[in-house]
Structure 1
Amino acid sequence: MSTQRTPVTVIGLGQMGAALAGAFLDAGHPTTVFNRSPEKAGPLVARGARHAATVAEAAAAGELVVVCVLDYPAVRALLQPVAAELRGRVLVNLTSGSPEQARAEAEWAAGHGIGYLDGGIMTTPPGVGDSANMILYAGDAGLLAAHRPTLAVLGDPVDLGADAGLASLYDAGLLGLMWSVFGGWLHATALTGADGVPAKEFTALAVRWLRTVSWFMTTYAEQIDAGEYPGDDATIDVQVASIGHLLHAGEARGVDGRLPQLHLALMEQAVAAGHGGDSYARIIEAFRE
C-alpha cells in the first residue's frame, strides 16, 4: 500500500519535525528524513523511514519536501545549496517565522522553479496527525489541492489563499489569542481558587462560557468589518462597572490585578473619547492606534 502513496521528505527532526515524519509513516507514505544531527533519525528509521545522508539526497527523494527547522535563515542555509534538486518539487515550509520572511521565501522558491506552500502548525507535536487540529497553508491553491490528501494526514489543511505570508500572520494572531485566553483563565482560576474552588471544577464552566464568548466574537467581527459598534448588547460603560467588581474581588483575595487593570485602561480610553455607549468591539481602535 505504501508504494501507492506520495513519497515525502521531512527535513528537520526536532520534536515537531519528528512528529510530522511519524504521521506520514503512520499513513503509509514512503518517508525520507534528514537532520543535521543524524542520530535523531534513528527512531524514525526503525519505524520504516529512509535516512538521507545529505540535504541534496533528501531534497531529491520526495515529491513533497517538508521542512521544519528553527527559523527561516536556517531554512535558506539548508536549501539554497540544493535549489537545483528542489526544482519541480513542492516545498512545504512549516517553520515558524514572520509574514515578511514567508513572502521572501516564496519569492526565492518561485525564482528557482520550486512550488511553495508556507504553513503554520496549530498544535503541539502530540497533536500532529489528529484531524481535529488545524494546519494553516498559504500559497498556490493548486498545489494545496493537489497534495491535500497527503498533507491531511498531519491535520486539517486550512487554505488561507495565495499570499504566502498569511499562514504566519494567522499563526501569530492565533497564538496571541491563545495567550490572552490562558491569561484570563489563569487569573480567573486564581480568583476562584482563593475561595477553595478546584481548578478543574471552575474550568468546566469556563469552557462552557467560552462557547458564548465565541458567539460575541462572531457578532463583533461583523461590527469591526463595518466600522460601526452599536452597543445594543452591552456598552463599554456597563463593562467598566462590571470589571470594577472583578478588581475588587481580586484585591480582597490578594490576586494580582494587572491583567484586568489593562482591560480597564483600554475601556476608560474609549469612554474618554466619547465611545462609552458603543460595544466592546470599539476597543479594536485602541490596538490600531
Structure 2
Amino acid sequence: MSDNAAREDSAHKEPVTLLGLGAMGTALADAWLTAGHPLTVWNRNPRRAEPFAARGATVAATAGEAVAAGRLVVLCLLDDDSVDEALDEADLTGRDLVNLTTGTPLRARDRAARAQARGARFLDGGIMAVPPMIGIPESGGYVFYSGSAAAFEDHRHTLAVPAGTRYVGEDPGFAALHDVALLSAMYGAFSGITHAFALIRREDIDPEGFAPLLVDWLTAMVPAAHTTAERLNSGDHASGVVSSLAMQVAGSATLVRTAEEQGVSTALLTPYLHLMERLLREGGHGEEDTARVIDLLVG
C-alpha cells in the first residue's frame, strides 16, 4: 500500500501511539503507517521522528502528550528504566499499554500492577524478530504477548500488523519469560557451535564445508526438546531411553580430552557435563534420560 493510499484508509484503522524510534521502533512505525494506521510518535531525539512526520504521523513533543493522543500506547524503548521515565508524568487513565521493550518477567509483573493502579490495562511483549523481519508476514517473526486478555482481544488485529501474535497468558511476566527462555536456548546453541568451530580451527578443514554438517546434526537433535517436555510432564525418565545418563557421562571424557588435545578451552562445554556428572553421582539415575538435569538447575 502506498503512503497516499494508507492515509486515505486511515479513517478505518485503529490509531496507534508509539514511544521509541530506535531500530525496532522505526520498523514498527513503518509497518503501522504503511498499513494505514493513524500514528502518533514520540522519541527522545526528535530528529528520528522527522521521516514519519513527512509521511503523515503526528509527532508529540513529550511522552505524556503522546500517551494522551489515543487509547493504544506501544512502548519500544531502550530498557525498563526508560519505560518508567517515559510514563512517569503521563495520565494513563483509560489507556492500553503494550510494552515491547525487552525486560524481565518480574519487572513486567510490577509494571502491570502499577499500570492497573493508574487506570490502564497492560500487555507485555517479547519480540521474536529482528527489525528487517517486521512488517513482512513471510519472515516468520512474531511477538509473545501476556497480560490483559481483554486488551489483547481488543487490539489483536492492530498488533498483528508488524508481526504475528502469540498470546501466552494472563500472567504479565509470561511474554518476557517465553522470550528469555528461547533466547537462552539460542545462546546455548551458539556456545555449542562456537566450540565445534574452535575444535577444527587449526586444522585443514574448511569451515564452510563443515557448517552444513553441523547444521544437519543440530537439526536432527532439536526434536529432543519434545521428548524432554514429555518426560517433565509424565515424570517418567526411564522409558524408551536411547542414550542413558551413564553412557553420556562416560562418553563425555572423550569430548574433554579432544578439546585439550586441540588446545581448545572447555569453558563452553564443561558446565553441562558437570551437571550430568553430578546427577550420576546422586545415584539411581544412570539408566535414565538426561532431562532430570533440569531439576538440578531449579533446585
- TM score, norm. by length of structure 1: 0.92
CA gap 1:238/1:168 in 2 versus in 1, 3 angstroms = same
Instruction: Report what 1:146 is aligned to.
Output: 154
CA gap 1:50/1:202 in 2 versus in 1, 3 angstroms = farther
CA gap 1:168/1:271 in 2 versus in 1, 3 angstroms = same
C-alpha distance in 1 between matches for 2:205 and 2:142: 33
Alpha-carbon deviations, 1:174-218, whole Å to 9, x = none?
221111111111111222344333333333233333333221110
Contact 1:243 1:260 (C-alpha < 8 Å) held by counterparts: no
CA gap 1:153/1:202 in 2 versus in 1, 3 angstroms = farther
1:121 and 2:118 correspond:
no
Q: Structure 2 residue aligned with 1:254, among 243, 259, 263?
A: 263
Contact 2:124 2:146 (C-alpha < 8 Å) held by counterparts: yes
Q: Structure 1 residue aligned with 2:207, among 199, 212, 235?
A: 199
Shift of residue 171, structure 1, vs aligned partner: 1.9
Contact 1:117 1:139 (C-alpha < 8 Å) held by counterparts: yes
Q: Structure 2 residue aligned with 1:281, among 282, 291, 294?
A: 291
C-alpha distance in 1 between matches for 2:34 and 2:212: 34
Instruction: Report what 1:221 is aligned to.
Output: 229
1:241 and 2:247 correspond:
no
The aligned runs of 1:41-190 (5 Å cut-off) are 41-83=49-91, 86-131=92-137, 132-190=140-198
C-alpha distance in 2 between matches for 1:212 and 1:116: 40
Shift of residue 57, structure 1, vs aligned partner: 2.3
Alpha-carbon deviations, 1:38-57, whole Å to 9, x = none?
11212332343221112232
Structure 1 counterpart SS, 2:269: helix
Instruction: Report what 1:271 is aligned to.
Output: 280
Task: Count how many residue pairs are aligned between Structure 1 and Structure 2.
Answer: 287
Aligned residues with identical type, % of pairs: 42
Alpha-carbon deviations, 1:206-247, whole Å to 9, x = none?
333333322111011111122331162210111123323322
Alpha-carbon deviations, 1:132-169, whole Å to 9, x = none?
01211001222212211111122111111100011122
Deviates more, 1:245-254 or 1:106-115: 245-254
Contact 1:92 1:118 (C-alpha < 8 Å) held by counterparts: yes
Contact 2:64 2:86 (C-alpha < 8 Å) held by counterparts: no
C-alpha distance in 1 between matches for 2:54 and 2:221: 46
Shift of residue 17, structure 1, vs aligned partner: 1.6
Shift of residue 87, structure 1, vs aligned partner: 2.0
Deviates more, 1:25-34 or 1:46-55: 46-55
Instruction: Report what 1:31 is aligned to.
Output: 39
Give the letter aligned to residue 115 of structure 1. Answer: R
Give the letter aligned to residue 76 of structure 1. Answer: D
Instruction: Report what 2:6 is aligned to.
Output: none
C-alpha distance in 1 between matches for 2:29 and 2:290: 44
**What is the root-mean-square deviation of aligned Cα atoms in Å?**
1.9
Contact 1:32 1:49 (C-alpha < 8 Å) held by counterparts: yes
Contact 2:101 2:125 (C-alpha < 8 Å) held by counterparts: yes
Give the letter aligned to residue 277 of structure 2. Answer: E
Alpha-carbon deviations, 1:82-141, whole Å to 9, x = none?
12xx32231101112221211111112212221211111122222222440121100122
What stretches of structure 2 of length at least 5 have no aligned partner? 1-8
Contact 1:135 1:154 (C-alpha < 8 Å) held by counterparts: no
C-alpha distance in 2 between matches for 1:65 and 1:134: 19
Structure 1 counterpart SS, 2:88: helix
Contact 1:130 1:155 (C-alpha < 8 Å) held by counterparts: yes
CA gap 1:208/1:47 in 2 versus in 1, 3 angstroms = farther
Shift of residue 249, structure 1, vs aligned partner: 2.6
What stretches of structure 1 of length at least 5 have no aligned partner? none
